[in-house]
Amino acid sequence: MPIRVLIVDDQTLLRATFRVLIDSCDDLEVVAEASDGQQAVELARVHHPDVVLMDIRMPGTDGLAATEAICNDKDLHDTRVLVLTTFQSDEHVAQALHLGASGFLGKNTTADALLDGIRTIAAGDALLSPAATRSLITRLLSTPGTGPDVPPERLAALTPREREVVRLAAVGKSNTEIADELFLSVLTVRTHIQHARAKVGARDRAQLVALAYQSGLVSGR
């Protein structure tokens, strides 16, 4: 069964381009298009897509508000939001993830990266582009009170393999990329991430990444 995608963007040409690209893949299918956040929420409730490809800056209800509404809707528990925007600012990255988005890619990404991103999100994994990861870490490290509420010493509980997986996640690599680099299965990488989050008390992947930087496991430089 193909991955069902809802495209949300106020630019008609971009929506059409995304539709052609996504529908060209046998395992992906566009079920609807929305031109603003309010329409996105309404169509999500009608079609229950697997992934919502969400723009942030739109007239009326923007992508952040729509992301919050979709992620807080219990009937859309299995719907995941992949934010795709020109503006990979630290504020947008942090807000989108805080509101429940599962991933964040810039519109300058390649077609293959976008398609792989949709598949990654649909599989239940989080996805941050390297630029988005750097923006998120910059914000978390420079703003008091936005980092994890767990001490860096908690990383001592991680196995060497878990530490390596967390390190690669912290530089913006997806589970698939980590699996390829470490010669592991994607399921094994996902399990290591889940175990690491549980051991350090991280709420989500973004918080785990922030802890990796705060603890010195990964250099901010």
Reported as a single tens digit per residue, the pLDDT across 42-57 is 999 999 999 999 998 8
CA proximity to 211, closest of 159, 165, 170: 170
Same domain, 184 and 131: no
Same domain, 128 and 201: no
The reported pLDDT for the residue numbered 204 is: 65
The reported pLDDT for the residue numbered 11 is: 92
The reported pLDDT for the residue numbered 135 is: 58
More confident residue, 156 or 76: 76
- Which of residues 138, 158, 175 is at a domain's end? 138
The secondary element (H helix, E strand) that includes residue 6 is strand 3-8
Same domain, 153 and 111: no
CATH number of the domain where residue 155 is located: 1.10.10.10
DSSP-derived 3-state class of residue 64: helix
Q: Is residue 184 part of a domain?
A: yes
Taking the whole predicted model, whether its pTM rises above 0.85 is answered as: no
Tally of CB atoms within 10 A around 13: 8
The phi and psi torsions of 33 (rounded to 5 degrees) equal -130, 145
DSSP string for 127-181: EE-HHHHHHHHHHHHHSTT-S-SS-GGGGGGS-HHHHHHHHHHHTT--HHHHHHH
Q: Is residue 22 part of a domain?
A: yes
DSSP H helical segments within the chain, as ranges? 12-23, 37-47, 63-71, 90-98, 111-122, 130-142, 160-170, 175-182, 186-200, 205-214
- Which of residues 108, 138, 168 is at a domain's end? 138
Exposed / middle / buried, residue 143 (Cβ in 10 Å: 0-12, 13-18, 19+): exposed
Percent with pLDDT over 90 in the chain: 42
Same domain, 88 and 47: yes
Same domain, 130 and 159: no
Same domain, 198 and 127: no
Domain that holds residue 151: 147-214
Q: Is residue 122 part of a domain?
A: yes
Same domain, 98 and 52: yes
The phi and psi torsions of 186 (rounded to 5 degrees) equal -60, -40
Q: What does the CA dihedral 206, 211, 217, 221 come to, rounded to 10 degrees?
A: 70
Same domain, 110 and 153: no
| The total number of structural domains that make up the chain | 2
Determine the Cα–Cα distance for residues 117 and 120; give it in Å rounded to an integer.
5
Q: Is residue 175 part of a domain?
A: yes
Same domain, 102 and 202: no
Q: Is residue 66 part of a domain?
A: yes
Q: Is residue 60 part of a domain?
A: yes
The reported pLDDT for the residue numbered 147 is: 46
Same domain, 51 and 156: no
**Angle 106-197-151 from CA coordinates, rounded to 5°:** 105
pLDDT digits (tens, 9 = 90+) for 69-108: 998 898 998 899 998 877 555 566 667 777 778 878 877 8
Q: Is residue 109 part of a domain?
A: yes
Same domain, 124 and 173: no
Same domain, 53 and 87: yes
CATH number of the domain where residue 35 is located: 3.40.50.2300
- Which of residues 116, 138, 160 is at a domain's end? 138
Structure tokens at 85: 């925007």
